[in-house]
Amino acid sequence: MSTLAMDNPATKPTGQSAEKPFFICHDIHAYYGESYVVQGVNFEVRHGEVLALLGRNGAGKTSTLRTIARLDNPALQRGEIWLDGQPVHAMKSFEAARTGIQLVPEDRRIIQGLTVEENLTLAQVAPGVGWDLDRVFGHFPRLAERRRQEGTTLSGGEQQMLAIARAMMRNIKLLLLDEPYEGLAPVIVHEIEGIVNEIKALGITTIIVEQNAVAALRLADRAVILDTGEVAFTGTANEVLDNAELRQQYLAI
């Protein structure tokens, strides 16, 4: 292993060469009970890329992220999920998290009664895994300023930053962001975009789900559009931005 890889293990693919897909969803099917919500989804993400996962309300975006994070619901019935050569489809959620899949859910789940710093330290799983507090505070200066403040008293944008920061305190190979811009003012959206761009510059692979498709596409290299649990489009972010028909049909923008 090179020195660089030793310094920065999370940013180096270990199982495959950088040219091969780092993350693969191959024909995944998932159900909430009888309800068939992820209907044979296929896509790949290259190492260090940001993928925008788009589609109307109810298209299956959250369900797809939950399936990737290996939560029990929806239940994965068929298909394969691979991260850096590891069979994620065979894992439980704690194993997926240990492997480096970190989901930042839509509701952010900041723990009440804990300070910003306590929310972060509670996310730590083992010494030397993930970012330490100094590194997090370097990338999230607003959180550094408010480290002793109770997490749930932060603004919506700051709580989103805290939720992302918490993911960085764990083993992070694939960051899953579910509607990080929801309910936030454009100026805060830009600030969070800046942070996600910094994370991208560090080589961390990200899937971003957003209703604000334009903002997500500004960050993204490529896009997948879901429609009723199926992939309706795969291509570059620019192909979506340039295709008015596609945007109108699936994104209403």
Ligand X SMILES: Nc1ncnc2c1ncn2[C@@H]1O[C@H](COP(=O)(O)OP(=O)(O)O)[C@@H](O)[C@H]1O
Site residues for ligand X per CB under 6 A: 32, 35, 37, 55, 57-63, 73
In 3D space, the residue among 158, 163, 66 whose CA is nearest the CA of residue 110 turns out to be 163
User: Considering the complex, what minimum distance in angstroms separates the CB of residue 71 from ligand X?
Assistant: 10
User: Considering the complex, what minimum distance in angstroms separates the CB of residue 209 from Mg ion?
Assistant: 6
Q: Name which of ligand X, Mg ion, none residue 35 binds, using a CB cut-off of 5 to 8 Å depending on partner kind.
A: ligand X
Answer yes or no: are the C-beta atoms of 76 and 30 closer than 8 Å.
yes
Show contacts with Mg ion in window 40-79 (CB under 5 A): 61-62
User: Considering the complex, what minimum distance in angstroms separates the CB of residue 62 from ligand X?
Assistant: 3
Question: Residue 35 or residue 236: which is nearer to ligand X going by CB?
Answer: 35
Question: Residue 29 or residue 61: which is nearer to Mg ion going by CB?
Answer: 61
Question: Residue 68 or residue 97: which is nearer to ligand X going by CB?
Answer: 68
User: Considering the complex, what minimum distance in angstroms separates the CB of residue 57 from ligand X?
Assistant: 5
User: Considering the complex, what minimum distance in angstroms separates the CB of residue 170 from ligand X?
Assistant: 23
In 3D space, the residue among 173, 176, 221, 174 whose CA is nearest the CA of residue 61 turns out to be 176
User: Considering the complex, what minimum distance in angstroms separates the CB of residue 32 from ligand X?
Assistant: 3
Question: Residue 158 or residue 179: which is nearer to ligand X going by CB?
Answer: 179
Alpha carbon distance 178, 184 (integer Å)? 14
**Residue of this chain nearest to Mg ion (CB atom):** 62
Q: Name which of ligand X, Mg ion, none residue 236 binds, using a CB cut-off of 5 to 8 Å depending on partner kind.
A: none
Alpha carbon distance 173, 97 (integer Å)? 9
Question: Residue 59 or residue 136: which is nearer to Mg ion going by CB?
Answer: 59
205 burial class (0-12, 13-18, 19+ CB within 10 angstroms)?
buried
Q: Name which of ligand X, Mg ion, none residue 59 binds, using a CB cut-off of 5 to 8 Å depending on partner kind.
A: ligand X
Q: Name which of Mg ion, ligand X, none residue 55 binds, using a CB cut-off of 5 to 8 Å depending on partner kind.
A: ligand X
Alpha carbon distance 46, 252 (integer Å)? 28
User: Considering the complex, what minimum distance in angstroms separates the CB of residue 61 from Mg ion?
Assistant: 5
Answer yes or no: are the C-beta atoms of 227 and 56 closer than 8 Å.
yes
Question: Residue 228 or residue 238: which is nearer to ligand X going by CB?
Answer: 228
| Residue 90 DSSP one-character state | G
Residues 6+ apart with CB under 8 A from 114: 122, 150, 151
Q: Name which of Mg ion, ligand X, none residue 60 binds, using a CB cut-off of 5 to 8 Å depending on partner kind.
A: ligand X
Question: Residue 83 or residue 209: which is nearer to Mg ion going by CB?
Answer: 209
Alpha carbon distance 213, 52 (integer Å)? 8
Answer yes or no: are the C-beta atoms of 75 and 30 closer than 8 Å.
yes
In 3D space, the residue among 13, 47, 173 whose CA is nearest the CA of residue 98 turns out to be 173
What are the residues binding Mg ion (CB under 5 A)?
61-62
